[in-house]
Chains A and B, each alone.
Chain A
């Protein structure tokens, strides 16, 4: 699905990612954890193609294509989805109109006709149920006046509507109460198939009680310093990150 090799990226001259190697295959869920400032969100933004970040070294292969060479919109159309840590408000643009525009533009680029209104609405109904999103939210302006939990649920709703190959969830659990967390996680689990994959970026272990990862990676100072099975997350919850950092220092010393 995606193969990241020796990825280096910086923002305003400061190097944040210092050589990431990661491969995610279809059907897999990878969790990326790490202390604040380790580069988790930077990785998500670099994969999505945000302007402010400069890739200085390395390569990313996404479904056989050079991801770093693609515009953000082309990455999206190729099947990459980013659930934003801070979803953006767009006043006056209804959620429905926003999604219809996004879906139909992608279809147009593929040379397909716009999705018939009936099919579109059916999909909206079906997918909004998945994240228990109030039908009225679909008609409200994108994220405007949404609570923190509603915004995150809306991200998963959009993900369900766009049906991506690879979803990157950037701290989707932050600011969620336990009910919202369960709903978001359920949505992600329901959408999981053997043909898609997700990278779940999180600061806390608790999301991983609901979304069970195949691999857990620890990001520290812009590198993946440890990879393990799902149990690693529990260990991190109990012991924090210090022991890994210590281990690391011993190795380099």
Chain B
């Protein structure tokens, strides 16, 4: 009979399933960071002067900043001079159809279980593929174009829609925001750009698959989503990365702008290489994600995160407009030696603003999982409301769960609720399931999925299925 310890061992020993590496020629910048490198990136991308100035300004600010140390994380700080800041698959002509895509790239997607053709055909998902910083395939563009929806790589947006990029870039996450965001502002290579015109509802889920593919290449994605007045968009971001020994730095910035009466739903599945079970390697994930809500606008963040060695991210909403709504639903799984310090920030500025935070942490092995959340009610935010629930599930005796809620209330009429629970996955529950004929793995699966249900329910259907699969893989190993 399997003891609890054996079970935990089995779970934490599950090998990273997506550990393969696509062999493509890279077009790389030399290692290190300097104004010259930034000029190199900008020139490589054929950027206008204002873009270069934006980067250089950020770089000068970043040089004076210090890497933050307040998070409940322990890791070797990256050597920022030992990274490549630009790497791209060999430049190719713009592609009009999938036939022109590198077959090896398509193979990579097949390994991930995501065939672009299938996605196009079956689900109507438009996929903007980002491999090592440069978009190489875009689909459904024409169809979206008919509605006036712009969905393209960030580089293309800089060339084709400079007025929109200039107007909104850095308005939600300013250049001075934090160490990693400022670094991103200086060196970001690509990402996605999306604009939904007034009153339009995007008819399909917009989806981007990111992969980190070159050893020692910091990935600095920049995403900007603008939903104009009364529009709606659901955006999916899913990631897996190949196995690598060196720590890979990832410092992305995502900015969402929801103008009056607009709604943005932003869903993430993150499954980057978490490091070996001994705690070697793995991705450093330092991400700044924030949304701005104007009057009656709504932004909803949903994330299922199972990857990365170190995670530092706090997707949040600035509820500037009256009657605006911010939501955050999260499942964060850490096992082996993974560490996560993650949560959400909800800043209430407008009247009658509402926010909800549902955070579910799962820790196994020696992992440390921290929830850190800020709920701030500004003086003018009359009748603001927040509800926060953060639950932690522990598997085994060697992992940790921590909660750091920060609540600042400056308006007497507001109402803030915080609920927190910590529980251990029960032997009783597992035995109950077994007695009804289920294997241990099925039982754990069922229990974990039940625990995460509130969050999984927020994901679009096809993403929810993928998320469940991911939870299975991360917690149960390659059983069966």
Contacts and interface: CB of A to CB of B under 8 A. Distances in A.
Q: Is the interface of B mostly helix, strand, loop or mixed?
A: helix
B432 A84 contact: yes
B428 interface: yes
B429 A51 contact: no
Nearest to B440: A73
B452 A102 contact: no
A51 B1 contact: yes
Contacts of A102: 433, 436-438
Contacts of B34: none
Interface in A202-248: none
Interface string B441-480: 0100011011111100000000000000000000000000
B435 A82 contact: yes
A141 interface: yes
Contacts of B439: 73, 105
Sorting the interface of chain A by its residue count into under 10, 10 to 19, 20 to 34 or 35 or more gives 20 to 34
A162 B434 contact: no
B118 interface: no
Contacts, number: 79
A48 interface: yes
A90 B429 CA distance: 7
Contacts of B66: none
B449 A76 contact: no
A158 interface: yes
A92 B452 contact: yes
B109 interface: no
Contact of B451 (A76, A87, A92): A92
A106 B453 contact: no
Contacts of B3: 51
Nearest to A79: B437
A105 B442 contact: yes
Most A CB contacts (10 A, CB to CB) among B431, B437, B442, B447 go to: B437
Nearest to A78: B437
B426 interface: yes
Most A CB contacts (10 A, CB to CB) among B426, B435, B449 go to: B435
B435 to A, nearest CB: 5
A99 B428 CA distance: 17
Given A73-B437, A98-B436, A105-B442, A88 B428 contact: yes
B442 A93 contact: no
B1 A71 contact: yes
Contact of B437 (A89, A91, A92, A106): A106
Contact of B449 (A92, A103, A162): A92
Interface of A: 48-51, 71-73, 75-77, 81-82, 84, 87-93, 97-99, 101-103, 105-106, 141, 158, 162
29 contacts: A48-B431, A49-B434, A49-B435, A51-B1, A51-B427, A73-B434, A73-B435, A73-B437, A73-B438, A73-B440, A75-B435, A81-B435, A84-B432, A84-B435, A90-B429, A90-B450, A92-B451, A93-B450, A97-B446, A98-B433, A98-B436, A98-B446, A99-B436, A101-B438, A101-B446, A102-B433, A102-B437, A106-B437, A162-B437
